[in-house]
Amino acid sequence: MSVDVPRRIVILRHAKADWPPQVADHDRPLAERGRKDAPEAGRWLAASGIVPDLTLCSTADRTRETWKLVAHELPKRPKTVYEERLYEAVLGRLIEVVNEVSDDVRDLMLVGHNPGMHALADALAGEAEGDARTRLDRIGFPTSAIAVVSFTGSWKSVEHGVGRLEAYWAPHE
């Protein structure tokens, strides 16, 4: 695939997680609200015609469970890689992971955690469609939020301000 094709990165924060006592952060499950919101996020993606070629998902239980519920709502399940580096990743690490994606991938989804997911959406979105930027700035990046950033070029070229925030969705908005 040419590096000059339009590409999208879909940034998904995991659904609302529970805080059971004596459970390590990495092993936290979804809360009841999270189990309800994650399929809703999947339905929004499907209705928007967004089915990524590749999903990179944090190894934490809550992200894996979120992705399973989201993917169930999509017309086809994308290739999925569980990526340890996404757990508690900061902006620089997230961009590093994105830069390693093969240019055969047109649409990429990341399923991870805040504050990294919000920072990535904010950093990549140099421009925005409609009111997407205003909503991102006003609402932030709550659990199950999705930002869709488009750009043209190689994944190696992803950096601050490279893209356009073409869509933003959050449950309970």
For the chain, how many residues are written? 173
For residue 129, the model assigns a pLDDT of: 67
pLDDT in tens, 69-97: 999 999 999 999 999 999 999 999 999 99
The answer to whether position 47 is within a domain reads yes
The answer to whether position 35 is within a domain reads yes
The answer to whether position 143 is within a domain reads yes
CATH of the domain at 88: 3.40.50.1240
Query: What's the domain count of the chain?
Result: 1
How many other C-beta atoms are found inside a 10 Å radius of the C-beta of residue 106? 13
Which domain does 73 fall in, by range? 6-17+26-169
Average pLDDT of 155-171? 93
Model pTM?
0.95
For residue 2, the model assigns a pLDDT of: 54
Which percentage of the chain shows pLDDT scores above 70?
97
Average pLDDT of 15-38? 97
The answer to whether position 64 is within a domain reads yes
pLDDT in tens, 112-144: 999 999 999 999 987 666 788 888 888 889 999
The answer to whether position 91 is within a domain reads yes
The answer to whether position 73 is within a domain reads yes
pLDDT in tens, 40-60: 999 999 999 999 999 999 999
For residue 166, the model assigns a pLDDT of: 92
Residue 66 has pLDDT above 80, yes or no: yes
Half-sphere exposure of 161 (CA within 13 A, CB side): 0
The answer to whether position 1 is within a domain reads no
Residue 106 has pLDDT above 60, yes or no: yes
Please report the DSSP string for 77-113 in residue order: PPEEEE-GGGTT--HHHHHHHHHTS-TT-SEEEEEE-
The answer to whether position 59 is within a domain reads yes
